[in-house]
């Protein structure tokens, strides 16, 4: 019974995060950021790693300053790494997106090598994504950022090579 109450409480927090995400996607960035920060204060630095990962991931998207966005994306990755591999709430499919976001943050900050490193992690972890809309979307975004870095940087696509072409 205690396990069920804990699961219900976890679902409630994720539901609340989802409601704020909808507010943000509806265009109210300032209010979303404020509500996300309130949730962060409620959850705390030592709260459930899934909550912290999810919340930090979305909170990063509400930031105006690329350095603040990076800080929140780094918190999301750190929290995701705290989840045990066997945890049914684990987020292995989230790692490609987390690394992709970090790569984009580093591009905004002009830190190309860090961007390439995270893009390489995104590409490697994306191999485990399903061939569904989410997986295809993440892989496409990785490819777009790889192309951008190839065009912008003198070292081309980095050590992982050019974007992969999916067979037709």
Reduced to 3 states (helix: H, G, I; strand: E, B; else coil), residue 19 is helix
The model's pTM is 0.82
Residue 127 has pLDDT above 70, yes or no: yes
Q: Which residues, 6+ apart, have CB-to-CB distance to 32 below 8 Å?
A: 20, 21, 23, 24, 62
For the stretch 1-57, pLDDT in tens is 444 445 555 589 999 999 999 999 999 999 999 999 999 999 999 999 999 999 999
Q: Give per-residue pLDDT as tens, 78-100.
A: 999 998 775 656 666 789 999 99
Query: Do 50 and 65 form a contact (C-beta atoms < 8 A)?
Result: no
Alpha helices (runs of H) in the chain, residue ranges in sequence order: 2-25, 29-43, 49-60, 66-82, 95-108, 112-126, 133-152
How much is the pLDDT for 115?
97
């Amino acid at each position: 019974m205690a396990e069920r109450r804990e699961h219900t409480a976890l679902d409630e927090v994720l539901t609340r995060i989802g409601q704020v995400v909808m507010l943000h996607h509806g265009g109210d960035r300032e209010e979303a950021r404020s509500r996300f920060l309130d949730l962060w204060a409620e959850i705390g630095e030592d709260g459930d790693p899934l909550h912290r990962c999810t919340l930090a991931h979305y909170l990063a998207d509400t930031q105006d300053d690329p350095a603040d966005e990076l800080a929140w994306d780094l918190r999301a990755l750190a929290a995701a790494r705290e989840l045990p591999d066997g945890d049914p709430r684990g987020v292995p499919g989230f790692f490609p997106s987390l690394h992709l976001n970090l790569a984009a943050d580093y591009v905004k900050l002009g830190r190309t090598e860090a961007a390439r490193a995270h893009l390489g992690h995104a590409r490697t972890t994306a191999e485990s994504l399903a061939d569904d809309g989410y997986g295809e979307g993440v892989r496409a975004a990785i490819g777009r950022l790889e192309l951008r870095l190839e065009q912008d940087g003198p070292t081309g696509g980095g050590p992982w090579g050019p974007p992969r072409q999916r067979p037709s």
